[in-house]
Amino acid sequence: MNEITIPPSPNWYFGDILSCNNDGVFVYGSRNDLIVCRHKSGGSLADGPQVQMIRVAHKEKVTVVRLSKTNGGKYPHSVATVGDDSIVKLWHLETLSLLQAHNFHEGSKVVDMDWSIADPNLVVSVDENNNIICWNLSTNSTQRLTLFKLRATCLSCCPHKADTIAVGSRTGLVFVIKNKDGGQVLYRMRGHDSEVVSIAWCPVSYNIFKQSKTEQLLSRDMLLASAGKDRDVYIWRAGTDGQCQTKFNLPVTPVATMESSDHHRSGGSNAPSLGMFRMCLRWPDPSTLLTSTAWGELLKWRLTETGEDAAHKGSQKPVKDKLSKNYKLLHNVHLRGLFSIACTPAIVQDETANFWTSSTDSLPSEDNLDSEEKEVSIDGMNIAKEQQLVWTTAQDRLIVACDLKTGKLVAKIPTFGGFVYAVAVSPVDSDSDNCLFQLAWHPTKENFIAYGTSEGRIGVCDTSSGKLPIVFKLSHHKPVYSLCWGPFTYKQGEDPKNIPDIVLYSCAVGEIFQHNMKKPDEDISSFLKEIQQIVNPTAPKFKITTELAWKPDFTLLALGLDDGSNERTITVFDTSQLSKGGPDINNKTIKRCITLTGHLNRVVSMAWSPHVSGQLVSVSFDDTAQVWDVPNQSLVANYPSHESNPLCCVWSPLDPDMIITGSADCTLRVWKISSQTNKFPKEKKFNLGTLGSTDAL
């Protein structure tokens, strides 16, 4: 078992929410946080990424993320972001600190933003009020262009000319604009019948559809692809006459079938309505175009096999649709609508020139692509022949990486769409309509798992049958924060033969109850009241009960509670005298024996080690997990890497050095005790730069 972190989910429906580079880094927005994931040194992508977070990167939801695409410019190892707060920010990838920011959109919602390849010091953004802001990073200055009736939906900077951008609109028009001289509109290209949702430039400036090498060398058509809600894709000559080069349509049914042996699965009936679907378009290399489908499929279109331009040279009408069947399924791993695609840049800076050069301006042949060379030069840009990755994310909350050439799956990363409230490990192998807050596997019956909900309901499911769950009589009226199995601790005058070996304990704020599976409808008495009588009969009622955990052999019980000191304290009781048919709780069979102090805030979850007797892990609202040596009342290790309140913890069933914790930062982390350098929790100090403060703007 390896150390892993399951990160939070990317924000839905934003085509540019995910960005990646060739250094093994991919970055995306989750709520108003920024998630930075790196390829682990010495490991593979399949082992999961190293995850870092910039908490509250924006005051509102992050909508666009753009990594720097070159090693040039003032900020080569940085990421630019936009949020619904209308602020454009620049972050350092290594320190995760805020470098620069501007709010010149003045509250107008920013619909898209791009970081230029042709000028690595230029970041361009456009808002819903037709304002285009060109931000010069080297001087930290901006230029405003205002174009009336633009109604922008997406934007892309031309990789061949620094002063040219393309903008898609709600009206179906695609604009090619010169970002100097007040924003001159070079071309208005009309073809789509509905909103343009994604645009992408060809990585090379010549026309890949030209037949002869000479024509290719002479052309500077700067092809541009646009995708609309109408599921049409147009390819335009954006550098010369603004006319359509060709067009094609997305398939109207899923490409994959359940019988396909080359792919993982079919999207089937999980497609959203066409009104919800937003196609994403990417142009990773000159001859390849990538599109998403409503069924979670990633399609790869081969562009250079048609050669249709010769027959339509000079035509003022859209070329006949000849590409509509010239595609193949790259992967269909996603279960639901795929809305974002990111490609590792195939184009890297030519270090022998000041920037992009035109030293070699020819299209490589298929023979050259199959040669032993590791890269080919196109238009002065080195295109790697090594594995080029395509990252995708969809409504199934998976982040997937595959090889562009083969479609081979390289990484499949699950993510969480909300707080991680509960974690439980099956003792053998690893629904309610309410929000599930807690889970607990039965310690001896592998098919039983207990659940607790946000409404205080408790039940037990038999996972090996289709039977309805056992639902206990409603006892809690607040969310269930803890569930665990333990011994029966009071008899209520019952015959010893009817006393179960194991019952279920549930904990909510100020309440602990035990539940008998054989009598789910019986009245339930408060276990906490019985504990109160043992600890201090004259003390006032416990104000807070946050957590309970039985040691696997049931000889010790740990409680997180307010017993008159504070709720950060863990109290351990000796329960070794409890046995079936033996003395009940009123005969002083439970004794308070140990008090553990060290957390700086409320304890919310605990788990005993199944490997080392007397070791306990607890998590707290001080943002840390603490490992205890209970018999010696000492602290073993402290895990401080969560960015928000940990909510649950469990010990690995296989490795005594591994612990699993879930958190309100929407991550699940698997970590080693031996790797921790701290023994005590520390007060966290907030960095205003890291939090994305804009007070200085």
Q: What is the pLDDT of residues 274-299, one digit of tens each?
A: 556 788 999 999 999 999 988 889 99
pLDDT at 355: 31
pLDDT at 414 over 70: yes
Token digits of residue 35: 């998630």
- Summarised one tens digit per residue, pLDDT across range 645-668 is 898 999 999 999 999 999 998 899
Residues of the chain with CATH 2.130.10.10: 4-414, 436-672
Burial class (CB in 10 A: 0-12, 13-18, 19+), 649: buried
Residue 661 neighbours by CB under 8 Å, 6+ apart: 423, 619, 625, 639, 642, 646, 648, 649, 668, 669, 671
Residue 592: DSSP 8-state: E
pLDDT at 239 over 50: yes
Token look-up 């997305």 returns 250
In this structure, which CATH number among 2.40.30.170, 3.40.718.10, 2.130.10.10, 3.30.70.100 belongs to the domain 4-414?
2.130.10.10
What is the spatial distance between Cα 651 and Cα 563, in angstroms, rounded to a whole number? 27
> CA-CA distances (angstroms) from residue 615 to 217, 591, 618, 646, 663?
71, 19, 10, 19, 21
- Summarised one tens digit per residue, pLDDT across range 531-590 is 666 655 655 555 566 688 889 888 888 887 654 445 688 888 888 876 544 545 544 566
Token digits of residue 619: 């998590």
pLDDT at 694 over 50: no
What is the spatial distance between Cα 89 and Cα 123, in angstroms, rounded to a whole number? 10
pLDDT at 528: 67
> CA-CA distances (angstroms) from residue 157 to 131, 184, 391, 563?
15, 15, 21, 63
pLDDT at 684: 66
The answer to whether 517 and 526 have CB atoms below 8 angstroms apart is no
Burial class (CB in 10 A: 0-12, 13-18, 19+), 59: middle
pLDDT at 232: 92
The answer to whether 215 and 363 have CB atoms below 8 angstroms apart is no
Cα atoms in the Cβ-side hemisphere of radius 13 Å centred on 625: 29
Residue 599 neighbours by CB under 8 Å, 6+ apart: 568, 570, 618, 620, 622, 624, 626, 681
Of the ranges 106-110, 253-257, 505-509, the best mean pLDDT one = 106-110
The answer to whether 114 and 124 have CB atoms below 8 angstroms apart is yes
Residue 550 neighbours by CB under 8 Å, 6+ apart: 484, 485, 486, 487, 505, 556, 557, 575, 608
pLDDT band with cut points at 50, 70 and 90 for residue 170: very high
pLDDT band with cut points at 50, 70 and 90 for residue 350: very low
Burial class (CB in 10 A: 0-12, 13-18, 19+), 163: middle
pLDDT at 319: 38
pLDDT at 14 over 50: yes
- Summarised one tens digit per residue, pLDDT across range 40-88 is 655 666 677 899 999 999 999 999 999 998 777 889 889 999 999 999 9
Helix (H) / strand (E) element for 527: namely: helix 527-535
Q: Quick one: how far is CA 317 from the chain centroid? A: 43
Q: Quick one: how far is CA 313 from the chain centroid? A: 46
pLDDT at 437: 81
Helix (H) / strand (E) element for 634: namely: strand 634-639
What is the spatial distance between Cα 81 and Cα 469, in angstroms, rounded to a whole number? 46
pLDDT at 54: 96
The answer to whether 664 and 680 have CB atoms below 8 angstroms apart is no
* pLDDT-wise least confident of 242-246, 304-308, 310-314, 656-660: 310-314
Query: Average pLDDT of the chain?
Result: 80
What is the spatial distance between Cα 511 and Cα 525, in angstroms, rounded to a whole number? 10
- Summarised one tens digit per residue, pLDDT across range 585-618 is 544 566 778 889 889 888 888 999 999 999 999 9
pLDDT at 367: 40
Please report, as a single letter, which amino acid is at residue 606: M
Token look-up 């349509």 returns 249
pLDDT band with cut points at 50, 70 and 90 for residue 494: low
Nearest one of 5, 72, 212 to 661, comparing CA atoms: 5
> Other CB atoms closer than 10 Å to residue 460's CB: what's the count?
20
Is the model's pTM score more than 0.85?
A: no
Residue 556 neighbours by CB under 8 Å, 6+ apart: 550, 572, 573, 574, 575, 576, 593, 608, 614, 630
The answer regarding whether domain 436-672 maps to CATH 1.10.3720.10 reads no
